[in-house]
């Protein structure tokens, strides 16, 4: 089943915007908000790890039920996790498709990577200081 | 010490009524702030000194060496990209534009991934906007379209709309109708008198349907449009046409969804149609506290609001070509200076990968996702706490931010002026 990934602001994400190494930022930015019925159908519980894939990439996220969403919709707050899925094409506008990325999901036992690890996968070197 | 009328440098609301209690170089109390403001002022998570990376090893470096190295990286580059700017004051933005010009580089601000499409639409059809004070005092109908102020601009409703009594709107909560249009039933939607849920990607169609109804051609709408019933469309259009003064605020739900700049153009043209019946305005919900200022400063100096390319020796602007995401996607730039933003977190992965490949320099007070991608980071003072300067509120009103105490770090302006001086000398300009 293909889902539509919507990204956007949350107040917790905003609160930690200057502390992206904090564990609470990691939890918020890697939360995969899903309609509870979709979670039931995919045999997912709150906190289940899910491999989310798009044409642009893959990333492991943690499922979180949300009644704000319709079935078939997923929400991840803006940040490095969502951006592992959003493609860099802008259709001549400069703006990527942050609100309508087509993704698929599958349960996984892999852990959710940290922000520094995500950046290492992009070719960076984590700064631990 | 207690400081009153402090300006919050978090979001585009630039709330200017905070009361801050300081103890030397530490903030110990915040009054009137939202959750975001409290975190901004009470948080103390600064990078202590400049850091540089050599291979896989990070080490501290002196400020003088960091500034010298930053200038050398930019001088060595054929096509440097200078990105960010929305989280610093106008004076620093101004130095940034001059630096881009002397380097022959590209300078872009965070509008490129927020309201860039809004600016493109405004350039096509104009901007029937107004100040937030006008909305507070006059608006009896407010629409938030693709915006979630409860989470992104927490005091927008209490200072300007639903919970703010105005001169002509004495009991705002009862007299001001609130319409929220979104694909998700957000916390803001829960407050609305009318919540319009749109299917993802359906904004353009719904705006067109509303325009048809307002134009008196409602008969062309025969059924639901992008998940919105005909009855609700007619109800919302009637509510807007009967308003004494209506205000639309739109967010990234419109600028980032399919249609992008054309969504905004359609929304502006809906506003134009509504002005045949009553007074209506439309305004973007700007995110970063001084992103509007970056557009203003870029415009004063270059004539263009973002994505300005000086490679030709003159200012050139073409969204889709000179915008940061496109330049990084094409692996075009060979060095990047990031100031007061975090593209490592907020650009698609392919862009972050290119930032890691090239020498990236960051000027920012905090460790963020871009830190892990860069070669050099220079910490600076935080505007509104230990630096001051001019910022522009989301409605274009300039507000002077205040310094609460003298901190341990130089301001963005000071660092950028020193880099500029080295570059200018090397260029013999």
* Class of domain A3-121 (CATH, top level): mainly beta
Structure tokens at B112: 């490129």
Size of interface A-B (CB pairs under 8 A): 195
Which pLDDT tens digit goes with each residue over A53-110?
999 999 999 999 999 999 999 999 999 999 999 999 999 999 999 999 999 999 999 9
Task: Tell me, yes or no, whether B227 and B320 share the same domain.
Answer: no
Spatial distance between the Cα atoms of B271 and B241, rounded to a whole number of angstroms = 10
For residue B192, being part of any structural domain is answered with yes
Q: Do A118 and B369 touch (CB under 8 A)?
A: yes
Domain ranges of chain A: 3-121
Across B28-60, b (16+ Cβ under 10 Å) vs e yields eebebbbebbbbbbebeebbebbbbbeeeebee
For residue B16, being part of any structural domain is answered with no
For residue B33, being part of any structural domain is answered with no
For residue B241, being part of any structural domain is answered with yes
Residue in chain A nearest B49 by alpha carbon: A129
**Based on C-alpha coordinates, what's the Rg of chain B?**
23
Backbone angles phi, psi at A95, to 5 degrees: -110, 120
Residue in chain B nearest A93 by alpha carbon: B320
Q: Which of B249, B269, B284 is the last residue of a domain?
A: B284
Task: Tell me, yes or no, whether B171 and B92 share the same domain.
Answer: no
Task: Tell me, yes or no, whether B127 and B256 share the same domain.
Answer: yes
Task: Tell me, yes or no, whether B87 and B120 share the same domain.
Answer: no
Range of the domain at B357: 47-114+289-400+408-427
Structure tokens at B414: 């000071």
Task: Tell me, yes or no, whether B176 and B101 share the same domain.
Answer: no
Spatial distance between the Cα atoms of B202 and B224, rounded to a whole number of angstroms = 11
The CATH number of residue B165's host domain is 3.40.228.10
Task: Tell me, yes or no, whether B360 and B242 share the same domain.
Answer: no
Task: Tell me, yes or no, whether B265 and B316 share the same domain.
Answer: no
The share of chain A scoring above pLDDT 90, in percent, equals 95
Q: Do B366 and A4 touch (CB under 8 A)?
A: no
Structure tokens at B335: 């060095």
Interface test with A, best of B372, B374, B378, B385 (most A CBs within 10 A): B372
Question: What does pLDDT average to over chain A?
Answer: 96
Task: Tell me, yes or no, whether B261 and B306 share the same domain.
Answer: no
Spatial distance between the Cα atoms of B360 and B334, rounded to a whole number of angstroms = 9
The CATH number of residue B103's host domain is 3.40.50.740
pLDDT attached to residue B13: 98
Task: Tell me, yes or no, whether B108 and B133 share the same domain.
Answer: no
Task: With a cut of 80, say whether residue A38 has pLDDT above it.
Answer: yes
Identify the burial level of B217 via C-beta atoms within 10 angstroms of its C-beta, where 0-12 means exposed, 13-18 middle and 19 or more buried. exposed
Residue in chain A nearest B183 by alpha carbon: A69
Task: Tell me, yes or no, whether B89 and B168 share the same domain.
Answer: no
Per-residue pLDDT of chain B (429 residues; tens, 9 = 90+): 999 999 999 999 999 999 999 999 999 999 999 999 999 999 878 999 999 999 999 999 999 999 999 999 999 999 999 999 999 999 999 999 999 999 999 999 999 999 999 999 999 999 999 999 999 999 999 999 999 999 999 999 999 999 999 999 999 999 999 999 999 999 999 999 999 999 999 999 999 999 999 999 999 999 999 999 999 999 999 999 999 999 999 999 999 999 999 999 999 999 999 999 999 999 999 999 999 999 999 999 999 999 999 999 999 999 999 999 999 999 999 999 999 999 999 999 999 999 999 999 999 999 999 999 999 999 999 999 999 999 999 999 999 999 999 999 999 999 999 999 999 999 987
Q: Do B373 and A119 touch (CB under 8 A)?
A: yes
Helix ranges, chain A (H): 11-15, 23-29, 36-41, 115-121
For residue B41, being part of any structural domain is answered with no
Task: Tell me, yes or no, whether B326 and B304 share the same domain.
Answer: yes
Task: With a cut of 80, say whether residue A17 has pLDDT above it.
Answer: yes
Q: Do B326 and A14 touch (CB under 8 A)?
A: no
Residue in chain B nearest A99 by alpha carbon: B257
Please provide the DSSP assignment of B266-320 as one string.
HHHHHHHHHTTTSEEEEEE---BTTHHHHHHHHHHHHS-SS-EE-TTSS-EE-TT
Q: Which long-range contacts (CB under 8 A, 24 or more apart) does B175-178 make?
A: B175/B140, B176/B139, B176/B140, B176/B141, B176/B142, B177/B140, B177/B141, B177/B142, B177/B239, B177/B243, B178/B142, B178/B144
DSSP reduced 3-state for B328: helix
Domain count, chain B: 2
Cα dihedral B361, B367, B370, B373 sign:
positive
Which of A24, A61, A59, A58 lies closest to A46 in space, CA to CA?
A: A61
Show residues of chain A in contact with B371, CB under 8 Å.
127
pTM (2 d.p.)? 0.96
pLDDT attached to residue B44: 77
Q: Which of B284, B313, B334 is the last residue of a domain?
A: B284
Backbone angles phi, psi at A15, to 5 degrees: -65, -30
For residue B20, being part of any structural domain is answered with no
Task: Tell me, yes or no, whether B110 and B140 share the same domain.
Answer: no
Torsion of Cα atoms, B127 then B132 then B136 then B139, to 10°: 10
DSSP reduced 3-state for A97: coil
Helix, strand, coil shares of chain B, percent, nearest 5, are 40, 20, 40
CA distance A121 to chain B (A): 8
């Amino acid at each position: 089943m293909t889902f539509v990934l919507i990204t956007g602001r949350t107040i917790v994400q905003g609160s930690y915007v200057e502390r992206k190494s904090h564990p609470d930022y990691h939890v918020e930015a890697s939360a995969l908000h899903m309609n509870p019925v979709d979670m039931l159908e995919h045999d997912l519980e709150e906190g289940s790890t899910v491999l989310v894939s798009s044409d642009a990439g893959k990333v492991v996220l943690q499922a979180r039920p949300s009644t704000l969403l319709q079935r078939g919709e997923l929400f991840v707050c803006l940040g490095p996790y969502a951006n592992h899925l959003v493609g860099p094409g802008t259709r001549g506008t400069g703006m990527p498709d942050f609100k309508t990325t087509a993704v698929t999901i599958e349960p996984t036992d892999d852990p959710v990577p940290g922000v520094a690890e995500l950046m290492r996968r992009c070719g960076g070197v984590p700064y631990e200081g | 010490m207690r400081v009153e009328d402090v300006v919050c440098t978090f979001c585009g609301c630039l709330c200017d009524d905070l009361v801050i209690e300081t103890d030397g170089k530490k903030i110990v109390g915040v009054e009137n702030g939202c959750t975001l403001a409290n975190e901004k002022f009470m948080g103390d998570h600064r990078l202590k000194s400049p850091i540089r990376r050599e291979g896989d090893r990070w080490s501290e470096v002196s400020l003088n060496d960091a500034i010298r190295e930053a200038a050398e990286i930019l001088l060595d580059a054929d096509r440097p990209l200078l990105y960010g700017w929305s989280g610093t004051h106008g004076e620093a933005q101004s130095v940034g534009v001059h630096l881009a010009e002397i380097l022959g580089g590209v300078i872009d601000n965070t509008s490129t991934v927020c309201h860039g499409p809004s600016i493109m639409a405004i350039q096509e059809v104009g901007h029937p906007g107004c100040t937030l004070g006008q909305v507070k005092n006059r608006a009896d109908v407010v629409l938030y379209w693709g915006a979630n102020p409860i989470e992104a601009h927490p005091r927008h409703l209490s200072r300007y709309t639903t919970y703010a009594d105005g001169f002509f709107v004495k009991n705002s909560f009862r007299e001001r109708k609130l319409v929220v249009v979104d694909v998700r039933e957000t916390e803001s939607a829960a407050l609305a008198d009318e919540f319009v849920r749109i299917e993802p990607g359906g904004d353009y169609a719904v705006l067109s349907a509303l325009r048809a109804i307002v134009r008196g051609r409602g008969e062309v709408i025969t059924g639901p449009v992008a998940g919105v019933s005909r009855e609700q469309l007619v109800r919302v259009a009637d509510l807007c046409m009967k308003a004494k003064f209506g205000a639309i605020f739109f967010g990234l739900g419109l600028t980032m969804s399919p249609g992008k700049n054309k969504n905004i153009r359609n929304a502006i043209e809906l506003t134009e149609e509504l002005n045949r019946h009553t007074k209506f305005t439309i305004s973007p919900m700007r995110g970063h506290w001084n992103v509007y200022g970056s557009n203003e400063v870029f415009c004063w100096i270059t004539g263009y609001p973002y994505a300005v390319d000086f490679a030709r020796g003159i200012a050139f602007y073409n969204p889709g070509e000179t915008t940061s995401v496109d330049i990084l996607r094409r692996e075009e730039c060979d060095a990047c200076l990031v100031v007061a933003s975090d593209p490592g977190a907020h650009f698609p992965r392919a862009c972050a990968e290119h930032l890691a490949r090239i020498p990236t320099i960051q000027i920012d007070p905090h460790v963020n996702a871009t830190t892990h991608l860069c070669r050099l980071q220079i910490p600076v003072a935080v505007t509104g706490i230990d630096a001051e300067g001019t910022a522009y509120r989301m409605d274009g009103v300039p507000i002077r931010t205040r310094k609460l105490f003298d901190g341990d770090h130089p301001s963005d302006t000071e660092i950028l002026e020193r880099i500029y001086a080295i570059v200018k000398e090397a260029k013999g300009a």
